Structure 1
Amino acid sequence: MIADLYVYELGDVVLLTVPRSVKDIVLAKLDQFVFSEDVQLGDVTDAFGAVTVVGPSAGDVCATVLGDGAERFRALATHGNRRGQFHGRPVIVLRVDDGGVPGFELLVETVLGVELRQQLRAAGATDVDERAAEALRIEGGVPRFGRDMFDDTIPLEAGIEGRAISMTKGCYVGQEVIVRVLHRGHGRLVKRLVGLALDTDGVPPSGTPVEHGGREVGRVTSSTWSPALGRGIALAYLHRDVVAPGTSVEVGGSKAEVVSLPFVGASG
């Protein structure tokens, strides 16, 4: 996979949200598949800014700032989208619940970003630093491209097949690999991304070996202290023989237990 991205159909345009580090690679790859189609590709990264609001009251806060009904935000399906207005200018609202709690990503023209943040604070939102946002992501069991997924990762290994792979449409780029794994290999993978509940207050850095029975069976990709669980947690790719929940392993010399993802489920 060259990226983990989301595709939003907005009527007159199709919007892709892509990790900034690979946006040029994705754009070039898409351009390779444009032949006689009436399609124009464009990079609007610098034209728009994104503000993400998460939490049980996220819909109410967004509704207050955008002057819309809160029920319309709550009714929006996960990864659904709608358009709104902020200071008379267009806003794209995306529903993003991947972190384990209700959330909305607001895309506005870059020049309105500061004002939007100020009004969100006035409506009751609180700024969250990168460390807290990362904890929320890992608690939700959400792998991040460039950290937990790379260009040699198969979506099935990362557990994102439910949202990243179509099992019904015709041929597409990468389909051959998926077919081989699911139909010829009966879904057996060498490794899978799992959660680890740590028995130590310390947080192992990315790349820390995971051992079972005296042999290395994988490595940590992301880790954090979980405020919700009151313990250290991590994401790691482990050999298929040790991915069952409840399996005991060692991480950096400390005990840990394999758990199902997400660590914390969605609420609200």
Structure 2
Amino acid sequence: MTTSLDGAIPATGRDAGVPWHYGDPLVEQRRAARYAGVVDRGHRDVVTVSGPDRLPWLHSITSQHFAALADGASVESLVLSPHGHVEQHWQATELDGTVWIDTEPGAAADVLGYLQKMIFMKRVEPRDVSADWSVVSLIGPQTVAVLIAAGLPVPEQVGRAIALPDGGFVRRMSWPSDDAADLLVPADRAAATVATLAAAGAEPAGSWAYEALRVEARRPRLGFETDHRTIPHEVGWINRAVHLDKGCYRGQETVARVQNLGRPPRRLVLLHLAGESDELPEAGTPVELAGRAVGFVGTAVHHHELGPVALAVIKRSLPDDAALLVDGYPVAVDSEA
């Protein structure tokens, strides 16, 4: 579950239950981008999968190569529909005979339902443990220094995790900043973990800061930069959450076809929004060209350097200089890769 909201402005919507900011969100972003920030992400759901068949089983029913996943390895993975559309997005970590899956707030029921439906005769046991565990994220270039100052283990590279003495683990991440770490800790230790990292030099930062850095990094989020038609190629999940050299899994035909033929129908872009209004567009707001919808806005946020920006999914055929509008205001596509 979540840590204490004392002294914080609470987030709303999908991120309700964790701090949105602590009073000065742009300063929080700046310090997190330049030094280190600690973010309560305890609203994320957590599912575990144990049992001797867990790795080959997950390998067969998801987009990721789980079969030979080493102890301490962490990967992103997707569940696709039979037609290759994205249904679920996981961060999965194999540690001490258990695969730990953390996913979007409120998504555990869908994850668990899918896993239970696919068990058949396999020796696996999926469980929703969201009430018992919390995710705390450390972001920024001083991530390693803060972990050391806090007396916590430091995985040697991105995509690796190390167990914590009281349960859970620390895993190195490459986003939303260039260096970051997620800590999975017992829920009753989450507030203490945030305090420990803050005392070691990390600035307490809310979900606003985390989302701003994620948008800057052009990293998609399920349910914001995805809809019922999204395929992995459109939002940059190929080679991150989809392994291209593995056997059959649901939705693989679409992945292989687009990979071989190229040119998915849409692409993920960063939009610079007009500054005429302080109100940001909601996720799902149409992106329009000459009065016609040509895409949709995902996450929109005020960034400490870029100003009002948003991720959006638009038709691939649109040039970067197309005269696009959102809520009647002009927007500019940032073509930087």
TM-score range relative to shorter protein:
0.7 to 0.9
Aligned pair in 2 of structure 1 residues 253, 82: CA closer, same or farther (>3 Å)? same
- Aligned pairs for 1:174-185 (under 5 A) are 174-183=251-260
Q: 1:12 is matched with which residue: 76, 81, 97?
A: 97
Name 1:194's counterpart in structure 2: 269
2:325 alignment partner in structure 1 = 250
Indicate yes or no: 2:160 matched with 1:80. yes
| Structure 1 pair 201–53 and aligned structure 2 pair: CA distance change class (3 A) | farther
Q: Give the counterpart of 1:62 among 147, 164, 168.
A: 147
Distance change >3 Å, CA 38–CA 217, structure 1 → 2: same
Between structures 1 and 2, the one with greater helix share: 1
Q: 1:234 to 1:121 in 2, by over 3 A?
A: same
Deviation, structure 1 residue 169: 0.6
Match of 1:223 in 2: 300
> Of 137, 142, 160, which residue of structure 1 is paired with 2:237?
160
The separation in 1 between residues aligned to 2:221 and 2:296, in whole angstroms, is 15
The SS at the match of 1:176 is helix
Q: After superposition, what is the alpha-carbon deviation per residue over 1:228-261, rounded to whole angstroms, capped at 9, x for unaligned?
A: 32x221111111211x445442333333222246
Distance 1:150 1:205, change over 3 A: closer
Counterpart secondary structure, 1:49 = strand
Aligned to 1:265: none
1:66–1:84 CA contact under 8 A, matched in 2: no
- Say if 2:110 is the partner of 1:35: no
CA contact 1:140–1:261 (8 Å) conserved in 2: no
Task: Report the equivalent of 1:266.
Answer: none
User: Quick one: which amino acid aligns to residue 253 of structure 1?
Assistant: G
Deviation string, structure 1 residues 46-79 (Cα, Å, up to 9, x no partner): 11111111111111112222344xxx44x322x3
| Aligned mate of 2:107, from 8, 13, 22 | 22
Query: Which has the higher relative contact order, 1 or 2, with Cα contacts under 8 A spaced 6 or more apart?
Result: 2
Please name the residue that 1:139 is paired with: 216
Q: How far apart are the structure 2 equivalents of 1:214 and 1:152?
A: 22
Unaligned runs of 5+ in 2: 1-85
Q: Which deviates the most, 121-130 or 245-254?
A: 245-254
Q: Equivalent residue for 1:3? A: 88
Structure 1 residue ranges without an equivalent (≥5): 263-268
Identity rate, percent: 30
TM-score scaled by length of structure 2: 0.68
2:286 counterpart of 1:206:
no
Shift of 1:170: 0.8
- Cα distance in 2 between the residues matched to 1:234 and 1:128: 20
Q: Can you list the C-alpha shifts for 1:123-155, whole angstroms capped at 9, x where unaligned?
A: 122211222222122112121112222444211
SS in 2 for 1:105: strand
CA distance in 1, matches of 2:251, 2:118: 14
Mapped partners of 1:179, 1:121: distance in 2: 45
1:201: how far off? 5.3
- TM-superposed CA distance for 1:213, in Å, is 4.5
Structure 1 241/91 Cα, relative in aligned 2: closer, same or farther at 3 Å?
same
Distance 2:111 2:229 in 1: 15
Classify 1:47/1:92 alpha carbon distance in 2 versus 1 (closer, same or farther; 3 Å). same
* Cα distance in 1 for residues equivalent to 2:248 and 2:314: 30
